[in-house]
Amino acid sequence: MKALLGLDVGAVSTSLALLDTDLEVIDHIYIRTGGAPISSIQRIMKLAGERAPGLEIIGSGSTGSGRHLAAAMTGCDIVKNEITAHATGSLRMFPETRTIIEIGGQDSKVIVLRDGSVVDFAMNTLCAAGTGSFLDYQASRMGVSIEEFAELAVGAGRSAHISGRCAVFADTDTVLKQQQGEDRGAIARGLCECLAKNFLSCVAGGKQIKAPVVFQGGVASNAAVRQAFERELGLEVRVPEYHQVMGAIGVAILAWRHAREGGPTAFGGFDVRQGNLTTRIFECGECSNSCEVLEILEGEALVTRWGSRCGRWNLK
């Protein structure tokens, strides 16, 4: 069976999607990166190979902050940024999409589309209050899993007022509400609303958010956050079936387009490099850019490097 593979490597999660040539999802996998992207890529590729033996991969692509690393380890045919990959995945599921809200563990973004094309986007910069790590931390402080936290928020009849302008202020407000004996469900719902308000103010501020709105990323699993966005926007917010792996799906679709144009695949198989891979970073001082160049090594041998804006350190 011929298939396309997409790999999305982020700071918090690593996801993989396998699509058939009709662009239907065959399988998808979502795991925690755990601060070790090399081992997470090795694990997810090994797991995918075990779950789908006999597949012939005719095209593959990578996206996410670790996309270059993933491409070097697996032989991906294309490497695309997250904006392009997420937009492509959403348009496959909802062709009329006009706004994408994507919230992951450590970053969040809004993507504005018109007539099937990206016309604007923005990403979070400084504050964590609009990301999944914010809710993970608060759930941990409350002594519950993130799934239990979401259930508490959805089941709450009201929400506690939590400052949404800053993660630090939100944390202070949460502690105060707990000391006052506030209901845990109300606090959880208030924190979900805090996240939505922070996102709309700090990330999506000034953007034209129009329906259909698609919500994806790991945080889209939390129904209370989706409901908070719907209340704030006064619009229906759709969550795709495969919301956690939309970047992987999108880059797999882009790999399919590459394959259709006759581009041969460089995919190296599911048994990716299992050797002693390490990373090394150095700063280039040749000009005022002071680029940080990252190298991937297998033992002492250089596998790949990237990061120089002028291309001075690119492999030939």
Kindly state whether residue 198 falls inside one of the protein's structural domains.
Answer: yes
Report percent pLDDT > 90 for the chain.
52
pLDDT tens for each residue of 304-314? 777 777 878 87
pLDDT tens for each residue of 109-165? 999 999 999 999 998 865 655 677 888 888 888 889 989 999 999 999 888 888 766
We report the CATH number of the domain holding residue 167 as 3.30.420.40
Report percent pLDDT > 70 for the chain.
94
More confident residue, 246 or 298: 246
pLDDT tens for each residue of 88-98? 999 999 999 99
Helix, strand, coil in percent for the chain, rounding step 5: 40, 25, 35
Number of independent structural domains in the chain: 3
Residues 156 and 39 both lie in one domain: no
Residues 179 and 235 both lie in one domain: yes
Residues 64 and 38 both lie in one domain: yes
Residues 169 and 250 both lie in one domain: no
Q: SS3 of 13, please?
A: strand
Q: What is the pLDDT of residue 81?
A: 92
Residues 109 and 198 both lie in one domain: yes
What average pLDDT does the structure give for the chain? 88
Domain boundaries, position 154: 95-239
pLDDT tens for each residue of 162-204? 876 666 677 788 888 888 888 889 999 999 998 998 899 888 9
Residues 78 and 43 both lie in one domain: yes
- Exposure string over 48-74, b if 16+ CB within 10 A, otherwise e: bbeebeebebbbbbbbbbbbbbbbbbb
What is the mean predicted confidence (pLDDT) over 2-29? Answer: 94
Residues 99 and 84 both lie in one domain: no
DSSP annotation of 77 = S
